[in-house]
Amino acid sequence: MTRNLGQFDRIARLVLGALLALLAVTGTVGIWGYLGLVFVGTAFVNFCPIYKVLGLKTCQDC
């Protein structure tokens, strides 16, 4: 897997994904909120499979 996430994209995925998962744990949103964990995971591995399929890259040095 080659990197395809830039710094801003990684931070946004981490923050919003964690928030969404937290809202799911507290019951504020439904079970779909656990999809936030996917965003957190992609932020940690610095790779998004959907970006790969679409040919997108948000990093400048990769």
Domain boundaries, the chain: 7-54
- The whole-number pLDDT of residue 61 equals 86
Cα(60)–Cα(33) distance, rounded to whole angstroms? 30
- The whole-number pLDDT of residue 42 equals 97
pTM score over 0.75: yes
- The whole-number pLDDT of residue 44 equals 96
Q: Are 40 and 9 in contact (CB under 8 A)?
A: no
- The whole-number pLDDT of residue 52 equals 95
How many CB atoms lie under 10 A from the CB of residue 3?
15
| DSSP alpha helix (H) spans, 1-62 | 7-25, 36-45, 49-54
Which residue numbers in the chain have pLDDT < 70? none
